[in-house]
Chain A
């Protein structure tokens, strides 16, 4: 199944907030594979892509965070000039709108995945599949 999952956490925009989150992950030996931060004045949403999604989600929930899991699609980018451009062009040609995105680099200077959220997951995935592009699977992360 070409579905990966991203964890989103609500945070106030204050010093030390990110540190609280990274500490929880570090203490539980959960590896961050990619992340992004979006903020609006006083608050923001931290998105992380980790190796143990469910475990991380439970941990944050138990610690009282406002946390959610969102499905996402990962698509391989070739590490060369224009690599991201080509992938993005392909996605838009299929009428798929990118909501939030981050990058996962499993092998430095060799392989990278562009990971993004979409409006309508199933439909978007259907449109992107079987077009010669390498889509990320959950198994690959392990």
Chain B
């Protein structure tokens, strides 16, 4: 199903024309209105008129998260506060939060993006959608809220947390669609079954839109199995607009980017060079339609691959692969780059172990040590120490193969790793790097 078929299935040439027109406009706007951009453009000796083709975007400077922190709070706004009707911030776990400002038109744009995304996976006005992303400064809750209302679906604004009530609502209201983080979805299923005696697959739930954290195909299968639903991947970020920048279609083969509003590039994170199509690298996004806070070449730190081949669903818009890693999440252990997703995938491959794990980094004797704590699952528990030890060794071997450094795997008791109601905290870094 399409929300805006004309755009979603647009002829590629026309799409490029539209993008170029919008790119020229947005570059001119930020140059004239945002001193931060003017300064950066001038430093590089580039004027808005120099952008003649889409390719010329490579002459424009990147914008980083660091730049955004320096511009805190409103330094990147291209409209006066009188035109800004809403602000959101990132979690700010590693410093000052990033602030995003939205004009009324930006909010409408956001709703359109989510409406397209949800319609794409078959959500209609007859659905009851429970939004279990946090409402508030976080973009997840309200972004989905606007989009789901635009479709005309019945919105249950449950927000994050209060797990028992979430399940009661799902059961009593007959919720058909859920939107939350994938780790919270798994927790919901577990809680329903074990704390409330409710079989999650017996609920009326049909599909879910999951995002705001990295997850894997294995986790998708697990969520689909436990709830008996179709699980889709959503992508977005506060700096650009929030959730809805890209979303999976029923083909589940990459996330379509709404290219009429976002111009994407894949770059080599080390050199900043643009990479050819089909090569893995860092996603860079330029927002073409934002009024309140347009972004020029924002470095997302997200690692993915871009595909332009036509999709089975009929959409012509490019797809990004599921986010593979985040340079911020990347951990360097003994000089080797490790992404948590590699570890997660390895654990899940060793059948039967529930995807609850934590990575603990220590440096006991001037050398990094990496410990992966994996919860023993009730399903695979054997009464025999030998069998359990074999499972542990198998896990250790698979994780080591996946990351390329020595790893210690520890099996811990069920439910001993704290459950998160938002983004899962996977890494505990106890190394004293001072």
Asked whether A and B interact, the reply is: yes
Residues of A near any B CB (own CB < 8 A)? 6, 8, 10-12, 38-40, 42-45, 47, 61, 64-68, 70, 99-100, 117
- Shortest distance from the beta carbon of A101 to any chain B beta carbon, whole Å: 13
B416 near A67 with CB under 8 A, answer no
Q: What separation, in Å, do the CA atoms of A65 and B413 have in the docked complex?
A: 7
Q: What separation, in Å, do the CA atoms of A117 and B194 have in the docked complex?
A: 30
Contact A40 to B413, CB < 8 A, known contacts A66-B381, A68-B382, A68-B383: no
* B377 part of interface (Cβ distance < 8 Å): yes
What string of 1s and 0s marks CB contacts (under 8 Å) between B394-414 and chain A?
A: 000000000000000011111
- Shortest distance from the beta carbon of B145 to any chain A beta carbon, whole Å: 35
Contacts of A44 in B (CB 8 A): 385
- Shortest distance from the beta carbon of A79 to any chain B beta carbon, whole Å: 29
* B415 part of interface (Cβ distance < 8 Å): yes
- Shortest distance from the beta carbon of B95 to any chain A beta carbon, whole Å: 35
A40 near B414 with CB under 8 A, answer no
* B378 part of interface (Cβ distance < 8 Å): yes
Other than the given A8-B381, A67-B378, 18 more pairs (CB < 8 A) read A10-B388, A12-B416, A39-B385, A40-B385, A40-B388, A42-B410, A42-B411, A45-B383, A45-B384, A45-B388, A61-B378, A64-B414, A65-B378, A65-B413, A66-B377, A66-B414, A68-B381, A99-B384
Residues of B near any A CB (own CB < 8 A)? 194, 376-378, 381-385, 388-389, 392, 410-416
B388 near A43 with CB under 8 A, answer yes
**Pick from A12, A38, A61: contact of B413, CB under 8 Å:** A12
Q: What separation, in Å, do the CA atoms of A23 and B413 have in the docked complex?
A: 17
Could you name 26 residue pairs across A and B whose Cβ atoms are closer than 8 Å?
A6-B383, A8-B384, A12-B411, A38-B385, A42-B410, A43-B376, A43-B388, A43-B392, A45-B384, A45-B385, A45-B388, A47-B383, A64-B194, A64-B413, A64-B414, A65-B378, A65-B413, A66-B378, A66-B381, A66-B414, A67-B381, A68-B382, A68-B383, A99-B384, A100-B383, A100-B384
From B380, which residue of chain A is reached at the shortest CB distance?
A66
Contacts of B382 in A (CB 8 A): 68
B377 near A40 with CB under 8 A, answer no
Contacts of B414 in A (CB 8 A): 64-66
- Shortest distance from the beta carbon of A65 to any chain B beta carbon, whole Å: 7
**Pick from A40, A43, A70: contact of B383, CB under 8 Å:** A70
